Structure 1
Amino acid sequence: MAEAQQASSFTAQVNRDAVARYAMQDREDFADVDRGFLAGFPDQLFSDEGELLRDAHMLDYIADDTPAPDSVNPSLWRQSQLIKREGLYKVVDGLYQVRLSANITIVDAPEGLVVIDFGTDVGLAKAGLELFRRELGNDKPVVAAIYTHTHFDHYGGVKGIVDEADVASGKVPIIAPGTIASFNKYAIGENVITGNAMSRRMAYTFGLLLPHCDCGVVTGGIGSEDDGFRTRFSYIAPTDPITRTGEKRTLGGWEFEFLYAPDTEAPEEMHIWIPAIKALTCAENANHTMHNIQTIRGARTRDARNFARYLDETLVRWGAEVQVHYGPHTWPVWGNETVTEFLASQRDLYKYIHDQSLRLANQGLTPLEAAEIVELPDAIGQKWFNRYYHGGLHHNVRAVFHKELGFWDGDPASIMPLLPQDDARRHVGLIGRDRILQEGRDAIGTGDYRWAVQVLHHLVFADPADAEAKNLQADAYEQLGYQAEVPQYRAIFLTAAQELRDGVRAKSVVHTDNLDTILAMPIELLFDFIGVHVIGKAAAEVEVRLNLGFTGPGSPEGEGGEPWTMWVRHGVLNARPGHAADAQLTVTGPKAAMAALLLDPAHAAAVIAKYGLTVDGDPSVWESLASVMDVFDPEFNIVTP
């Protein structure tokens, strides 16, 4: 594996000059981040199966009170010094947080524990609750669970804390925003339907393939990432939906009030007010960072105006009373004046991005042109909690365009552009390899790394075997990574450099489309997932008609289970409830077996035998179905064609 290069003199100067742009004299966060600390985790945490879940020493190179090295933007280094702190914290009486890459909030109500969000991993969530019980001697039962929104790092650890049988029996409700169907659709659908692509992109955006060092990953900005994303997701569907603002629940003897905030940081999201302790969370609509209007890993584009709208509504409802704001990432904010200033500033941040982006759109600028122009006023941009530790101003401006105006940037040349490799070959043929290579060298020699990346891109895409061009482009990407304040930009650039030098690393790091989430999918979504595997051109010549009976929990009583029919015709897979009279084959069995069968029909005989499925009809259907089902490559190319 090729070694990383050191920061160039140009990069070192860029990072030294950046210090002047930031409020480095403001050290209040360093006091707040340690406030209420009760206990840390062991240096290493292991699962019950002996798997290493977390190694605290992975971040030892991010030393407290040490200036940023030349290879790290000073703002990102400062945030990483803060975010690496983990453990159990008391927020206020009755409210505690287990801080890891994502926070687990435990409300110690008079009659039991209410847990808000669960992190990414079953083992880490279990360890977090054990730490709480051990340190506080608290053996109260968990009486309710709350998901603030639909992202996997907030529900993934739920089975480490909540017994699924207690949920099924009604003993422990799971409260979540939106209807149950809607929450399932977005929580499961977003992470599974595009799960292969999202997982690969996550490896880039969160630096999951990079070494932990000052030339590699330096936290994810809102999470330490010292678990290396060794995650085992779980999922239990909500049982108690919040669909309107002002709804209240009495949980553990305390009242909880909710503000429904859909189409913000997640498609389904909500804010939570606990009047007994005057504690508020706005979920990920308010954080110690600018958030994404469009996540680079891949997700639905968000509405920046809604961020601002719901934050302002929160201030109206509870601003006069709130004494603490706790979030699902980073550390709390204490004191009424400080909290209200924080929420108002975050409100103004998203409103500014929204309004200025669309002002420039109405002037006829393209998204990229606008992104190069929009700057935050000092009153907003000098606040540390508005800096770019999860979202970046540059791509957020472009995201507002995409949300409101669609994919086209307004330039006719971009409606039907050539494929990147075709465009690259033509440029190389026109200009010549030697001239482009020299231009790339000259740009790197003067610290013009953005231009170097772009001009060398032609050579890399025209001939992915051109090692000299790839190594030069890697050098340029690397320096851009070292200069980036946005941790995702840093991770993308450094991972691109790594892949150019060493090739695609066949290493599975995280998969959002894991078995637990697939099994939790409503049957309709399961068919959507199967449908995106169909190779349209091949399926245009095939006709398949299946009757399916899903047995097991939630299915109707009777031998036939829940009846569905699925068919492939004209290159499209469709499904609907009920059985069809003209089906070629009928199969009945539990959902797990049916999912395995439909996703891997080439091994239908083995699956049928393993699960003892009931099958009646023409078995050649499996061969026809297998001939049109695609298999996704989890390590597809990103930085080369």
Structure 2
Amino acid sequence: MAEPKQASGFTAEVNRAAASRYAMEDRADFADTDRGFLAGFPDELRNKNGDVIRDAKLLDYITDDAPAPDSVNPSLWRQSQVIKREGLFKVVDGLYQVRLAANITIVDAPDGLVIIDTGLSVDLAEASMELFRRETGNTKPVVAVIYTHTHFDHYGGVKGIIDEADVLSGKIPVVAPGTIESFNKHAIGENVITGNAMSRRMAYTFALLLPKCDCGIVTVGLGAGDDGMHTNLSYIPPTDPVTKTGETRTLGGWTFEFLYAPDTEAPEEMHIWIPEIKALTCAENANHSMHNIQTIRGARTRDARNFARYLDETLIRWGEDVEVHYGPHTWPVWGNENVVAFLESQRDMYKYIHDQALRLANQGLTPLEAAEVVELPEAIGKKWFNRYYHGGLHHNVRAVFHKELGFWDGDPSTILPLLPQDNARRHVDLIGRDKLLQEGRDAIAAGDYRWAVQALHHLVFADPDDTEAKELQADAYEQLGYQQEVPQYRGIFLTAAKELREGVRTEGQLNTGSLDTILAMPIDLLFDFAAVHINGPAAADVDIRVNFTFTGPAEQPWTMWVHHGVLNARPGHAADAQLSVSGPKPALAALLLKPAAAAEALAQQGMTAEGDVTALDRLAEVTDAFDPHFNISVP
């Protein structure tokens, strides 16, 4: 395994100079993150199988009194010093948080506990509830769960908190924004249908493959990043949908009022007001960080104008009364004046990005040109909670273009470009390998790392076996990574350097498409997931027709056919099906997604098949298996 290299003199100077842009003298966040602390986790937290699921010792090098090392942007270092404070906190009377990369909020209502977001993993959720009960002595039952939005780190731990049988029986409601169908489709579709690509990209953006050191991952900005090991995602579909602003629920004896905020940080999201304790959350529409308008890991582009619109509506509804704002990441904000200022500033930040991006678009600038010139006003940009610890201004400006104008940047030469490797070969043929290699060396020697990456990219993509070019580009990526305030940019550049030096490795990657989430898919989404596995050219001439009967409490007949390279499905059976299979959903899902193992699936209890079972062999021949470790830094 190649060791990271140290920061160059150029990088050290860039990071020292960066400190002047930030309000380094403002240390209020350090006191706020410690406020209400009750207890921490053991440094090494294990699940019931003995697997380490969190290891805080890996972040011991990030200490409060240590200045930023040369290899870390000073703003990101400061955020890392703050965000590594994890454990159980009392926010106000009746409100607790177990703070990890994704927080679990526990509302101690008179008649029971209401859990707002359940964290990333079953094991972490179980450990969090054990910590809460042990330290508070609270034995009240959980009477409701609320999902604030459709991202897996906010529902993945649900089965570590409640039993699905209690939900199915109606004993415990699961409240969530949007219709049940919409929430399920966005929650599961985003994380499963594109899950293979998203998981691989996430390995880069969240630095999952990097060592924890000052030349590797330095937290993930919104969380310490020490709790992503042996992740066990679960899912229970919501039962109580919130589809309109102003809806209320009485849960545990207290009132929960909702502001429905779709198409913001997630396709389905909502803000929650608890008047009895004057507590508010705007979910991930307000954080101690600029958020993503377009996530780099991959998700639908968001509407920056909606961020601002719903934050302003929240201020109108509850701004005069709110005394604390708590979020699903980071730490709370206390005091009416502070909360209002926080929400107003976040509102103005997102609206500024939206409006200035479109102002420049209307002047004819391309997304990249606009991203290079937009700067936040000092009154917004110097606030620590508006800095770039999750989203970044540069890619958010470009994301506004994408949301409003589409993928084309307006340059005619980019509407039908050559493939990157073809473009690279043409440049190498034109310029010459030796000249490009020397240009890369000279750029690195001058500290011009952005240009070095671009020049050497041609060599690497023209010949991915060119070790000398890959090593040089890795050096440039590494120094560029050390200079970044945005932890996701840092993760991308440093992971690229690592894989250029070592090749693609198979450990450390998080799989968002867990078995639990696949089995929770509505049946139409399950067929959609199967459809993206169909190799269209290979299936162009096949004709496969199969009837499926999903057995269970409510029997559901479906028919699926593959014709002209496309898999379609609809409710009901077809008279001309070549094969009819019947069985429980897990077995049929296995049959559908892995038809090469059809014999094993058909042998499971409750499965029956009538007709031509060789249809499944033909399906297997045109069904792709996804490689979770595909190349990114080389073709």
Report the TM-score, using the length of structure 2 for normalisation.
0.99
The residue aligned with 1:551 is 551
The residue aligned with 1:80 is 80
The residue aligned with 1:282 is 282
Provide the rounded CA distance (Å) in 2 between the counterparts of 1:612 and 1:242. 37
Deviations along 1:488-544, whole A, 9 cap, x unmatched? 000000000000000001225211111000000000000000000000011111000
The residue aligned with 1:143 is 143
Structure 1: unaligned runs, 5 residues or longer: none
The residue aligned with 1:387 is 387
Q: Does 1:100 align with 2:94?
A: no
What does 1:457-606 correspond to in 2, within 5 Å? 457-507=457-507, 509-552=509-552, 555-556=553-554, 561-606=555-600
Provide the rounded CA distance (Å) in 1 between the counterparts of 2:495 and 2:230. 18
Please list every run of at least 4 consecutive aligned residues from structure 1 whose deviation after the TM superposition is greater than 4 angstroms: none
Report the TM-score, using the length of structure 1 for normalisation.
0.99
* Aligned residue identity for 2:80: S
Deviations along 1:239-276, whole A, 9 cap, x unmatched? 00000000000000000100000000000000000000
Which shifted more, 593-602 or 261-270? 593-602
Provide the rounded CA distance (Å) in 2 between the counterparts of 1:603 and 1:379. 60
* Aligned residue identity for 1:159: K
Provide the rounded CA distance (Å) in 2 between the counterparts of 1:162 and 1:427. 58
Q: Does 1:261 align with 2:261?
A: yes
The residue aligned with 2:366 is 366
Deviations along 1:275-294, whole A, 9 cap, x unmatched? 00000000000000000000
**Alpha-carbon distance, 1:576 to partner:** 0.3
Whether the 8 Å contact between 1:312 and 1:347 is mirrored in structure 2 is yes
Provide the rounded CA distance (Å) in 2 between the counterparts of 1:166 and 1:631. 36
Provide the rounded CA distance (Å) in 2 between the counterparts of 1:173 and 1:65. 46
SS in 1 for 2:102: coil
The residue aligned with 1:618 is 612
**Alpha-carbon distance, 1:50 to partner:** 1.4
SS in 2 for 1:451: helix
Whether the 8 Å contact between 1:208 and 1:229 is mirrored in structure 2 is no
Whether the 8 Å contact between 1:115 and 1:144 is mirrored in structure 2 is yes
Provide the rounded CA distance (Å) in 2 between the counterparts of 1:606 and 1:183. 33
Deviations along 1:573-596, whole A, 9 cap, x unmatched? 000000010000000001110011
**Alpha-carbon distance, 1:44 to partner:** 1.3
Whether the 8 Å contact between 2:208 and 2:508 is mirrored in structure 1 is no
The residue aligned with 2:119 is 119
Q: Does 1:164 align with 2:164?
A: yes
What does 1:170-569 correspond to in 2, within 5 Å? 170-507=170-507, 509-552=509-552, 555-556=553-554, 561-569=555-563
**Alpha-carbon distance, 1:613 to partner:** 1.1
Deviations along 1:328-378, whole A, 9 cap, x unmatched? 000000000000000000000000000000000000000000000000000
**Alpha-carbon distance, 1:612 to partner:** 4.6
Provide the rounded CA distance (Å) in 2 between the counterparts of 1:228 and 1:637. 23
SS in 2 for 1:258: strand
Relative distance call for 1:551 and 1:508 in structure 2 (3 A) is farther
Deviations along 1:192-213, whole A, 9 cap, x unmatched? 0001000000000000000000
SS in 2 for 1:276: helix
* Aligned residue identity for 2:476: A
SS in 2 for 1:538: coil
Aligned residues: 635
**Alpha-carbon distance, 1:611 to partner:** 3.6
SS in 1 for 2:549: strand
Provide the rounded CA distance (Å) in 1 between the counterparts of 2:508 and 2:243. 37
Whether the 8 Å contact between 1:507 and 1:635 is mirrored in structure 2 is no
Whether the 8 Å contact between 2:548 and 2:559 is mirrored in structure 1 is yes
Provide the rounded CA distance (Å) in 2 between the counterparts of 1:87 and 1:622. 50
**Alpha-carbon distance, 1:46 to partner:** 1.0
* Aligned residue identity for 1:268: E
The residue aligned with 1:66 is 66
Provide the rounded CA distance (Å) in 1 between the counterparts of 2:233 and 2:420. 36
Deviations along 1:1-37, whole A, 9 cap, x unmatched? 1111100000000000001000001111011000000
Whether the 8 Å contact between 1:474 and 1:501 is mirrored in structure 2 is yes
Provide the rounded CA distance (Å) in 2 between the counterparts of 1:157 and 1:136. 21
The two structures, once aligned, show a CA RMSD in angstroms of 0.7
SS in 1 for 2:428: helix
* Aligned residue identity for 2:185: K
* Aligned residue identity for 1:240: D
Q: Once the two structures are aligned, what percentage of the paired residues are identical?
A: 77
Provide the rounded CA distance (Å) in 2 between the counterparts of 1:258 and 1:325. 14
* Aligned residue identity for 1:600: K
Provide the rounded CA distance (Å) in 2 between the counterparts of 1:619 and 1:165. 36
Provide the rounded CA distance (Å) in 2 between the counterparts of 1:512 and 1:49. 21
SS in 2 for 1:213: coil
**Alpha-carbon distance, 1:610 to partner:** 3.0
Q: Does 1:633 align with 2:627?
A: yes
* Aligned residue identity for 2:413: A
Provide the rounded CA distance (Å) in 2 between the counterparts of 1:124 and 1:601. 34
Provide the rounded CA distance (Å) in 2 between the counterparts of 1:478 and 1:314. 42
Provide the rounded CA distance (Å) in 2 between the counterparts of 1:547 and 1:147. 35
SS in 1 for 2:255: strand
Structure 2: unaligned runs, 5 residues or longer: none
